[in-house]
Chain A
């Protein structure tokens, strides 16, 4: 009895206690909804059997129906543009800014802090803001583009099917920029300065120092930032209802907004679940990359 107690306070028992607590927490708050969601994707669910568990099982019918939708291909393409466009934009601009702010100039860290404003703003507010900026006839962006003579005509960012997905992507790049910059700044700060000094003495130029010191030393940070970027981008929802509503004609619709439309606009909860299960597979891949790239951070 005493031994069990002492092992609970200090020893293997304590470890098991900690692990089981977190596992119970995960299973209850993440596992159950996840399993429930997967289950729903194999059933026929409408508002009147939403409250019960006994629902007709339809096997893979929901998956077949979702894939057979005429807009399916377009939505996959848009999701790819949105995810890769957002990540590429957020990461490259964020990295450039992070390196820029590593230079020692007055108020560097204060100004860097101000960049976080975009990150703390709610997505719906950011969406409404960009909605005004991107408006066609009276939009700020068009006024600027016409003012500096880049274009004569009016760019209908929200209504032109060739532009609409890019409109949301631009807004999302702005939204996620600060987060990328901060994480990358932390990584940059962790690289010992003497490495750069030694390389400089050996005659390495700026580009060589970046390619042979910064990039290799930042490998795990970059992996983590990209994986988190993928997850956050696939989660990004608020911008869509606020800017384009997925339109016109689904030209800016993405998987996460589509899933919402199925469930809460068309009240076909099973198809909504089906789309989100499909997305889950992609997020799972990203999570594996994330766990893999941060494996060095766990010690002991």
Chain B
């Protein structure tokens, strides 16, 4: 009997606490959790803007969490599966459709239509496609990037080559002229690594030869693989392009060990510091002069998760982030995903020239997917590239096998 009394008392106490808790909660600011990889190594847009947003003290409070690049998809999956998803999450653009296609992101089509700040029409086609699913808008591009060819102007001048390569045939011809094994200089470097980076650099080749991720076995792709395989066999390219990521691959270019490198604008700041030579950037080559152009589309998107309890407040946060887009390049070196933002010049001639090329290149950038099973499609593509470049299969066998795998996923 005495026990029961104590239980009862405890119950009343808990209930009272809960009620006062509820009372406080009404006056408390709304908390919006934001997950992103920004701020892991150096300040990035999302962490900086979140901190500034909290200083506004407008009744909405952002709780910001930094995640590592490798973890953010898994962590979001887990959180979503257990009902603890954040309100806003920032994902790499090919991972976005995994969530939007299954209704894990909030449809913001109508909210954006009424918004003065978020205007979907202002975005580049590629970034916009990556946040669309089934004709609806599920997010906004946070920033974007793409790839082109960096080339060592000093080496080009020494070899008597005037202009950077415009076609893949020229790319091979110049690389074969520029190679110098005695000095440890390769003709070019790329990343054909067995992960998303491999697909990132190889898919544009498929696209510019008339294919797409749905149709990979094009004549151009086969030719290109044979060409690169021949260059690896002859020592024009290091065999390590098969295991190096883009950052390491471009590192060899910066050190003067490769005359050309396929990579993107995220390299510019490091190159300005490290490269002891004159360099420039040109668009990714085409198969024929004036042929179809293509490039990869990189960068992150922001989306509101459909499980959010405060969709309106979350959208306000999103609007605040988008309103800061003009600061992306000067403060963080990131390219905005939309065309209506004026990019101020940095005053560093090579950097400004490179930026201009990459902005031109962005017009041809195409997103990977969007497809909910993008990761499997991507694996089929980079597996095929690696199988062909190591000589385990002919380009035709490798691409046919990839096509069979992709058909299995698409149908």
List residues of A whose CB falls within 8 A of some B CB.
Answer: 47-48, 50-51, 70-71, 135-137, 154, 156, 158-161, 244-251, 261, 264-268
Contact = CB atoms under 8 A, between A and B. Distances in A.
Contact of A248 (B73, B80, B194): B194
Nearest to B257: A137
Contacts of A137: 184, 238, 240, 252, 257
Contact of B77 (A47, A71, A156): A47
Given A245-B194, A249-B392, A251-B392, A51 B82 contact: yes
Interface string B272-287: 0000000000000000
Contact of B376 (A51, A251, A266): A266
B240 A156 contact: yes
A136 B238 contact: yes
Contacts of A248: 194, 242-243, 386, 389-390
A204 to B, nearest CB: 52
Contacts, number: 84
Interface in B365-397: 375-376, 379, 383, 386-387, 389-392
A158 B194 contact: no
Given A48-B102, A51-B82, A247 B392 contact: no
B195 interface: yes
A158 B244 CA distance: 9
Contact of B193 (A135, A154, A245, A250): A245
B33 interface: no
B240 A47 contact: no
Nearest to B386: A249
Contact of A249 (B83, B102, B194, B252): B194
Residues of B in contact with A, size category: 20 to 34
Interface in B67-90: 73-74, 77-78, 80-83
A251 B390 CA distance: 10
Contacts of B386: 247-250
Most chain B beta-carbon contacts within 10 A, residue among A158, A249, A268: A249
A153 B104 CA distance: 52
A174 B252 CA distance: 29
Given A137-B240, A247-B193, A265 B81 contact: no
B239 interface: yes
B74 A159 contact: no
A268 to B, nearest CB: 8
Contacts of B391: 161
A250 B398 CA distance: 13
Interface of B: 73-74, 77-78, 80-83, 98, 102, 104, 184, 193-195, 238-243, 252, 257, 375-376, 379, 383, 386-387, 389-392, 401
Contacts of B243: 158-159, 244-245, 247-248
Contacts of A244: 243
14 contacts: A51-B81, A70-B401, A136-B238, A136-B239, A137-B257, A156-B242, A159-B239, A160-B390, A245-B195, A245-B243, A251-B392, A265-B375, A266-B375, A267-B77
B77 A50 contact: yes
Given A47-B81, A245-B195, A250-B386, 18 more contacts: A47-B98, A50-B78, A51-B83, A70-B401, A156-B239, A159-B239, A159-B240, A244-B243, A245-B193, A246-B194, A247-B243, A248-B194, A248-B243, A248-B386, A249-B392, A251-B392, A265-B379, A267-B77
Nearest to A245: B194
Nearest to B83: A51
Contacts of B238: 136-137, 156
A266 B376 CA distance: 6
B239 A250 contact: no
Query: Would you list the 10 A-B pairs with minimal beta carbon distance, nearest first?
Result: A247-B194, A51-B81, A249-B386, A156-B239, A159-B242, A248-B242, A136-B240, A50-B81, A47-B77, A249-B387
B253 to A, nearest CB: 13
B240 A266 contact: no
Contacts of B375: 265-267
